Chain A
Amino acid sequence: MKYIDEFRDPELARRLLTRIDGEVEAGRSYRLMEFCGGHTHALARYGLPGLLPQAIKMIHGPGCPVCVLPTGRIDQAIQMALQYPITLCCYGDCMRVPASKGMTLLKAKAQGADIRMVYSPLDALQLARMHPERAVVFLAIGFETTTPPTASAILQAESERLANFSVLCHHVLTIPAMQAILDQPQNVQLDGLVGPAHVSTITGSAIYQPVAQRYGKPIVIAGFEPLDLLQAIWMLVRQINRGMAEVENEFTRAVLPEGNRKAQSLVAQVFETRADFEWRGLGLLPASGLRLRAAYAAFDAEQRYPDIAYCAQPDQKGCECAAILRGEKMPQQCKLFGKACTPEHPLGACMVSAEGACAASYAYDRFTLAES
C-alpha cells in the first residue's frame, strides 16, 4: 500500500530503535503515556513494546472513546432505543460496551430495539432521509476527531429540515482528560506523553503548549504508524534527557499548529461545553464534554426524550478499568483480566474496543504474560 508501507518499513524501524537505544541514558527510566487508544492498538499490533529498551515503559492512556464512556451513558441509549420507536445509529465498537445488568446495545437489538451500526453520522442522516416517518437518533461519541462530522450532520439536517433526525451527544475533549491524569502525579508518574494523532489534526498542536508548560512534561504528537511511534518515542527520550518540556510534532504530514480551522468553527457553531461530564475512570471532569447549543435544541435527543436522563452507575465489581484508564494499573493487574473478562465476554469497557488497553493486551500480548 502506497503511503502506508513507507511508515512500516522494517529497516527504518531498526535504525530508529538503534537511535532510541543510543539516546537512553544508563540507569534512567522513561515512563511514557500514549494518550490515544489508536496508539495503544498500534503498539500492540506491531509488537513494538518488546523491541523497545527495557528502560522505556509505555503506559496506556484514556484516549479510547468507547472506554471512557460511563455505563450510565450506554444505559441511556439502550433505554431510549427500547422505549421509543426510534432507529438508534451508532459506531460499531459501541455495540458491545457493557451497560448495567449485563446489557449491551447488541443485546437490546436482539430484544427488538432498532439499532444500526453506521460508519458515519452521514449514514444516520441518510436513514432519516429515507424514512421520514421514523425518528433516527445518532449516538455521537468520541474525542475531537469525530465531533466535526457530527456537527456537519446536524447542520445538514437543519438545512434539509429533517425533523426526524437527532443526536445523543457524548462528545468529549482531550485536554481536560490529559490534565486530569497529570493532576494526580501521586498515582501515575509520567515523564512524557505521546500526543493524539487524529485528534490533533483537528485541534492542532499548539493547544497542548499550556499543558506541557504547566506540568513540565514533553508532549510529542505522533501518527498511528509504527515508525511514527518510534520516532515520537525517540523525540520524547531526547527531550527528557535534556530536561525539556516542549510540544513537538512528529505527525507533520497531517497536523498543523493551528489545526483544522474549518472543522473547529463547525464544532463551535453547533456545540458548547457542558459544565461537567462524567468519564469512566476519571470521574466528573469540569468543561470536558460537549452538548448541542440552544439554537440546535431540535436536534438534541436528550431534549427530545427528556424523560430518559443520564444516571451515573457504579462500574462492574472488581473491574479495574478506571485505574487502567488513569494509567495507574496495567490490564494484567486486574483480577478479572483474561478470566471473567475477555473480549468475548467483556465486563469492562477497556476489553471491548480494539483500542482498549485490556483488549489490546489480551489480543496481542498474552503470550508475553504467559511466559512471565
Chain B
Amino acid sequence: MPHSLGSAFDWQNGCVEMRHGSGGRASAQLIEELFIPAFNNAWLGQGNDGTVLPPPAPGHRLVMTTDAHVVSPLFFPGGDIGCLAVHGTVNDVVMMGAQPLWLSAGFILEEGLLLNELRDIVHSMSQAARSAGVAIVCGDTKVVERGKGDGLYIAMTGVGQLAESTSAPAGDRAQPGDAILISGTLGDHGIAILTQREGLQFDTPIQSDTAALNGLVAELQTAGIDLHVLRDPTRGGLATTLNEIARQSGVGILLDEASIPIQPAVAAACEFMGLDPLYIANEGKMVVICAPEHAATALRIMQSHPLGKQAAIIGRVIDDRHRFIQLQTRMGGQRLVDWLNGDPLPRIC
C-alpha cells in the first residue's frame, strides 16, 4: 500500500463526512484503507478508472445483471445490507443458469453514517463474495448530505458466464405438466426486516434467509437436470414470481397450499399482521421449474444441500389461457393467488 494520504480515520467513533466522497485525499484514503484491503483482489488493486477482465472460458457467453439495494435497518437478524447486496446480485446471475464471476459496487453513503458500521458492512460484503467465489472488481463511492440518504445504498452489477451448450433457464420455458419446487421456507427475510422496523418491535426468532444460491444451482446442473425456470422470489414473494413466470410462459399454475413450507414463527407473524407469506420477500430461496420426471431427483439434491433442507414440490404448471395462479387450499377449496398490489399493507382488524 502507498504511504498514508492523510490523518488516520477514527474507525471507532468517526462518521462519514462529505469529504469522503469529494474525490480528494479522504476519498482515496477510504478506498485504500477500507475497500481495497477488504475486497482484496488484483483487479481492484489496479487503481484505474476501469478494470480489465479476462474473456470468459471458451464456449461461454457473458451474463450481466444489476441490482440496487436499499434496506432499513442496515443490520437485521441474519445479515446486513452488505451481504444482502452480494447475495442478491449473485443470485440474479445464478438464476440465469450462469456461474457468477465478478461484481461491481457503487456506494451512496449518507453523511453521518458511522465509519464502524460502514466497515462492518464492507467486511460482510467481502466475506459474502468470498464464500460465493466471486470478486468485487470495481466500485465507486459518493456521499450525500445528511437527511438525503438512508445511511447507505449499494448498487451492484454482476457478471457471470453461461455455457453455450446448456439450454439456459428462462421465464418463458415453463410447460404444462412441469413440476414446481421451492428451495425452502417462505417469508423469512421480509418478516425478519418488518419485525425490526420502528414501531414493530416484537421478539421473534426469525432470521433473514439471505444467502448465495450458486452452490445449490451448480449441484442441480451437475446432475444434468434441465432447469426450465429458475427464479428467486424476492420482492413480491412467491406469488409475484409465479405470476411473472405464468405470464412469460403463457401458462397457468396450480399450487398445493399444504406443501408450501413456511416456518411457524413466520406464519404466526403474518397472521398477527394480516399479511400473506406468499407475498413476503425472500433473499435465499429459489423457485425451480423442471420436467416432472426430474422433480424427485431435483428435490433429493436440494434437500441434501444446506440451503435446501426444507425444499418441497409445491405445485405444477397447467394449461390456462388466463395465466392464473390457483391455490388448492388446505380446506380443499380453490382460490387465486394474484399479483402483489402496491406494498403489502397490514390490515386494520
Return chain A residues, CB-CB under 8 Å to B345.
92-93, 95-96, 117
CB-nearest residue of chain B relative to A198? Answer: B349
- Say yes or no for A8: interface residue by CB 8 A criterion: yes
Whole-angstrom distance between the alpha carbons of A138 and B345 in the complex? 17
- Say yes or no for B322: interface residue by CB 8 A criterion: yes
Whole-angstrom distance between the alpha carbons of A119 and B201 in the complex? 11
A356 CB to nearest B CB, Å: 11
Q: Are A66 and B331 in contact (CB under 8 A)?
A: no
CB-nearest residue of chain B relative to A353? Answer: B347
Whole-angstrom distance between the alpha carbons of A364 and B329 in the complex? 11
Return chain B residues, CB-CB under 8 Å to A44.
335
Per CB-CB distance, the 8 closest pairs between chain A and chain B, nearest first, are A47-B333, A92-B345, A343-B341, A364-B335, A47-B335, A363-B338, A91-B348, A47-B329
A214 CB to nearest B CB, Å: 27
Within 8 Å by CB of B347, from A51, A106, A355, lies: A355
Residues of chain B from 217 to 272 with CB closer than 8 A to chain A in the complex: 264, 267-268, 271
Residues of chain A from 7 to 52 with CB closer than 8 A to chain B in the complex: 8, 10, 13-14, 38, 41, 44-51
Q: Are B329 and A46 in contact (CB under 8 A)?
A: yes
- Say yes or no for B332: interface residue by CB 8 A criterion: yes
Return chain A residues, CB-CB under 8 Å to B347.
41, 92-93, 353-355
Given known pairs A123-B199, A367-B336, the reply for A10 and B331 (CB within 8 Å) is yes
- Other than the given A1-B267, A142-B349, A365-B336, 10 more pairs (CB < 8 A) read A4-B268, A38-B349, A47-B327, A94-B348, A145-B349, A353-B347, A354-B274, A367-B322, A367-B334, A370-B322
Range of interface residues on chain B? 20 to 34
Residues of chain B from 315 to 349 with CB closer than 8 A to chain A in the complex: 322, 324, 326-327, 329-336, 338-339, 341-342, 345-349
Return chain A residues, CB-CB under 8 Å to B268.
1, 4
Q: Are B336 and A10 in contact (CB under 8 A)?
A: no
Interface centre among B273, B322, B324, B329 (most CB of A within 10 A): B329
Binding site for B on A (CB under 8 A): 1, 4, 8, 10, 13-14, 38, 41, 44-51, 65-66, 91-96, 106, 117-119, 123, 126, 141-143, 145-146, 198, 226, 342-344, 353-355, 362-367, 370
Q: Are A10 and B330 in contact (CB under 8 A)?
A: yes
Return chain B residues, CB-CB under 8 Å to A117.
345-346
CB-nearest residue of chain A relative to B341? Answer: A343
Return chain A residues, CB-CB under 8 Å to B342.
96, 106, 343-344
Q: Are B349 and A65 in contact (CB under 8 A)?
A: yes
Return chain A residues, CB-CB under 8 Å to B327.
47
CB-nearest residue of chain B relative to A127? Answer: B199
CB-nearest residue of chain B relative to A47? Answer: B333
A159 CB to nearest B CB, Å: 22
Whole-angstrom distance between the alpha carbons of A126 and B6 in the complex? 45
Within 8 Å by CB of B336, from A4, A106, A363, lies: A363
Whole-angstrom distance between the alpha carbons of A66 and B349 in the complex? 11
- Say yes or no for B8: interface residue by CB 8 A criterion: no
B272 CB to nearest A CB, Å: 10
CB-nearest residue of chain A relative to B346? Answer: A92
Return chain A residues, CB-CB under 8 Å to B348.
65-66, 91-94, 141-142, 146, 353, 355
CB-nearest residue of chain B relative to A94? Answer: B348
Contact with A along B197-213 (1 / 0, CB 8 A): 00110000000000000
Q: Are B324 and A370 in contact (CB under 8 A)?
A: yes
Return chain B residues, CB-CB under 8 Å to A10.
330-332
Given known pairs A367-B326, A367-B336, the reply for A13 and B346 (CB within 8 Å) is no
Whole-angstrom distance between the alpha carbons of A226 and B257 in the complex? 15
Write 19 A-B pairs (CB below 8 A) sorted by A numbering.
A8-B331, A45-B335, A46-B331, A46-B335, A47-B327, A47-B332, A91-B346, A91-B348, A92-B346, A96-B345, A106-B342, A119-B346, A141-B348, A198-B349, A343-B338, A353-B347, A354-B347, A366-B324, A370-B324
B186 CB to nearest A CB, Å: 15
Return chain A residues, CB-CB under 8 Å to B336.
363-367
Whole-angstrom distance between the alpha carbons of A145 and B267 in the complex? 23
B246 CB to nearest A CB, Å: 12
Return chain B residues, CB-CB under 8 Å to A47.
327, 329, 331-335
Whole-angstrom distance between the alpha carbons of A94 and B346 in the complex? 10
Whole-angstrom distance between the alpha carbons of A1 and B264 in the complex? 6
B144 CB to nearest A CB, Å: 19
CB-nearest residue of chain B relative to A227? Answer: B331
Q: Are B349 and A146 in contact (CB under 8 A)?
A: yes
Whole-angstrom distance between the alpha carbons of A99 and B330 in the complex? 38
B283 CB to nearest A CB, Å: 23
Return chain B residues, CB-CB under 8 Å to A355.
347-348
Given known pairs A10-B331, A13-B332, A142-B348, the reply for A1 and B324 (CB within 8 Å) is no
Whole-angstrom distance between the alpha carbons of A142 and B347 in the complex? 11
Return chain A residues, CB-CB under 8 Å to B274.
354
Return chain B residues, CB-CB under 8 Å to A145.
349
Return chain A residues, CB-CB under 8 Å to B341.
342-344
Q: Are B349 and A226 in contact (CB under 8 A)?
A: no
Interface centre among B324, B333, B334 (most CB of A within 10 A): B333
B188 CB to nearest A CB, Å: 16
Q: Are A365 and B335 in contact (CB under 8 A)?
A: yes
CB-nearest residue of chain B relative to A196? Answer: B349
CB-nearest residue of chain B relative to A13? Answer: B331
CB-nearest residue of chain A relative to B329? Answer: A47
Whole-angstrom distance between the alpha carbons of A123 and B346 in the complex? 14
Return chain B residues, CB-CB under 8 Å to A365.
335-336
Whole-angstrom distance between the alpha carbons of A315 and B199 in the complex? 34
Whole-angstrom distance between the alpha carbons of A48 and B336 in the complex? 12
Whole-angstrom distance between the alpha carbons of A4 and B335 in the complex? 20
Return chain A residues, CB-CB under 8 Å to B271.
1, 4
Whole-angstrom distance between the alpha carbons of A47 and B336 in the complex? 9
Whole-angstrom distance between the alpha carbons of A8 and B333 in the complex? 12
CB-nearest residue of chain A relative to B330? Answer: A10
Whole-angstrom distance between the alpha carbons of A362 and B335 in the complex? 10
Return chain B residues, CB-CB under 8 Å to A4.
267-268, 271
CB-nearest residue of chain A relative to B267? Answer: A1
Q: Are B324 and A48 in contact (CB under 8 A)?
A: no
Interface centre among B200, B335, B349 (most CB of A within 10 A): B349
Return chain B residues, CB-CB under 8 Å to A343.
338, 341-342
CB-nearest residue of chain B relative to A122? Answer: B199
Whole-angstrom distance between the alpha carbons of A343 and B342 in the complex? 8
A145 CB to nearest B CB, Å: 5
Interface centre among A38, A65, A367 (most CB of B within 10 A): A367
